[in-house]
Amino acid sequence: MSSEQIIAILIASGIVAALGVVVGIFLGISGKLLAVPTDEKAEAIRECLPGSNCGGCGYSGCDALAAAISKGEAPIDACPGCDQEAIDKIAAILGQDSVESVRRVAFVKCSGGCQETRFIYQYYGDSDCHRAALVPGRGDKACAYGCVGLGSCVKACPFDAIHIVGGRAEVIYDKCRACGKCIAACPNHLIELLPATAGYAVRCFSQEKGKVVKEMCDAGCIGCGICAKICPTHAITIDNNIAHIDQTLCTGCGKCADKCPAHVIISPFANAKAVAEATEA
Show me where the domains of the chain are located. 40-94, 104-280
Q: State the Cα–Cα distance between residues 120 and 217, nearest whole angstrom.
A: 12
Using alpha carbons, select from 270, 268, 210 the residue that is nearest to residue 243: 210
Q: In b/e form, how buried is each residue of 50-74, taking b as 16+ CB within 10 angstroms?
A: beebbbbbebeebbbbbbbbbeeeb
Confidence at residue 281, expressed as pLDDT on a 0 to 100 scale? 56
> What would the mean pLDDT of 43-71 be, rounded to a whole number?
88
Using alpha carbons, select from 133, 134, 171, 141 the residue that is nearest to residue 154: 171
Q: What is the pTM of this model?
A: 0.74
Confidence at residue 107, expressed as pLDDT on a 0 to 100 scale? 95
- Decide yes or no: CATH 3.30.70.20 for domain 104-280: yes
Confidence at residue 32, expressed as pLDDT on a 0 to 100 scale? 64
Confidence at residue 34, expressed as pLDDT on a 0 to 100 scale? 58
Q: Are 149 and 142 in contact (CB under 8 A)?
A: no
State the DSSP string of 194-212.
Answer: EETT---EE-----S-HHH
User: pLDDT by residue (tens digit) across 214-264?
Assistant: 999 999 999 999 999 999 999 999 999 999 999 999 999 999 999 999 999
User: pLDDT by residue (tens digit) across 163-172?
Assistant: 999 999 999 9
Residues sharing a CB contact under 8 Å with residue 57, sequence separation 6 or more, in sequence order: 65, 74, 78, 79, 80
DSSP-H helix ranges across 141-260: 152-156, 181-185, 210-216, 226-230, 255-259
User: In CATH, which superfamily holds the domain spanning 40-94?
Assistant: Electron transport complex subunit B, putative Fe-S cluster (1.10.15.40)
User: pLDDT by residue (tens digit) across 140-165?
Assistant: 899 999 999 999 999 999 899 999 99
